[in-house]
Structure 1
Amino acid sequence: MTSRLARGFFHRDISLTETEKVLQENIVGSFLVRPSRTKADSYVLSVRLATGGIAHIRIKRTNEGFDICERQECFPTLYDMIDHYRRNFGELQEKNSENIELTNPILAQMPTFEKYYHGPISHSQVVSILNKCHRMGSFLVRDSETSPGDYVICVKTPDYIANIKIKYFSGNLFLDGKGRQEQIDRFKSLDELIHFYLKHNILVGVDGVAIRLVQPCTANWFYARDIHQRCEFLSKLMPSQHGHKSGFSLEFELLNQQSDPQSSQYHKKVGEKQENRTRNRFKNILPHDETRIVLRNYSVTD
């Protein structure tokens, strides 16, 4: 389970009342995971049942990983645990032996629409993305796999990809292990933290090595339900902030630059022909030969 849609189920700041309200408004099998308000290093998997009720199942985090109370199975990450029970219907049960099905993750709110944030992606995906960024100091921020609710700044250096954890505690974000407790810089939002260290250029890595954040390795993903917020965010990015390009111009440029693994399987030879140039609505967007719409009785002079 590697897609952001499948991994977006963790809600850091949702209450029990809000959880039950959201789940009641969704289909059977809808679920989310939230921190336990009563026990440290514990989480709660909340699921809407076929009976109409809501099940709340405690998840413990130990040195070995994550496990559901009174079960022997342990998983390295919360994502691995949820993926396992989604794929193996019948293994997760209520106290009355009723099977619990996990079908529809309730997606959490994104902490930012800034392009450095890549969401709940895996370490292997981070490596793949940063390897395509040639400039040293290129970075991105992802959700922590081992500490739900925290984040990780991943920075490309000449020798390796540095991973610096951003901790969340009592409404504040701060870099894990950066100096003594009273010296730690604390921030109210992810944007505030990232822009602070971008401005001051120096970030202290976990091994004591000073690392610079140079430029974000940009992402242009978002959940479909957030399209209006995304458009509002892009409309506020003025050309003066990004050279001579607006937010929407940058967005389309990124989409155009993205390499689709399947795109090499298709061809655009017909659209590239000289006689068909006037038939294409856009100069830089051409139809695939396999899926193009063939125009009949078309007059070039129209």
Structure 2
Amino acid sequence: AMCPAGPAAMMRDADLAMVHEPPWSPWRDTALADAAEAQLLLGNVERAAALFAESSTAGAELGNTDTIVNAQAELALLAMERGRWDEAAERVAAALAVVEKHRMYDYAMSVLAFAAAARLGLHDGNLGEVDRQLTRAMRARPSCTYVLPHLAVRSRLQLARVFWARGDQTSARHLLREIDDVLQRRPELGVLVDQVARLRARINSSERVTAGRPPLSPAELRLLPYLQTHLTIAEIGERLFVSRNTVSSQVASIYRKLGVTSRSDAVRQVISIGLLGS
């Protein structure tokens, strides 16, 4: 689980554990979870998803709440990457329900669940929920250390993405520095290292792209996720409880600040500079 020799060695250890821990073993779900994490670090997403689902089921049967929260949060994020937002919402709700029931607010596993909930809120345009979940994640963050490096880095990576999308560059960069501290101790984290590098490059690129232009306002950031949908201007106004004219003005301002002339160009731009996930 500490991944001191990289994900391939982690996978071998997890395979051995899965062979020798029977279904009734209190460590069976942990073996499955570690195997899932190793597969994810190796880039084997489908296999990782299957193992996370199995570990969540085993955790529920054994009464091991940590495994359930971790697996459901990881599955939620995988669903988001595939654009399956309804599934992601169900997974986030399942993870948070366990956190709430067992008051796991300061657990390391809960940080990833809060991060997933914040990202879901961003997609839904619910900035109040985004900020609430970010606050919970940042409070629990100190418990998420290099001891479980994949969890520490993945949680901070997700949080940095959301903070950047909210326009909080300071928090995003601080989280990247914390990630660097973890990677100094555990440098072999497979594809996760590449994901961190891509976010860093995206942030640096966005600073160049937006240089000299005023930042998007909170109201404009709140509107951004709706540009990815098929909702009309009037329908977006209904969702945000503002007039059609207000939405039109904010959209025009977004176009001007991003230097684009269409909705599709705006969406591509905000994805490329890290203001929204794909």
TM class by shorter chain equals under 0.3
| Greater strand fraction, Structure 1 or Structure 2 | 1
Q: From the CA coordinates, give the structure whose radius of gyration is larger.
A: 1
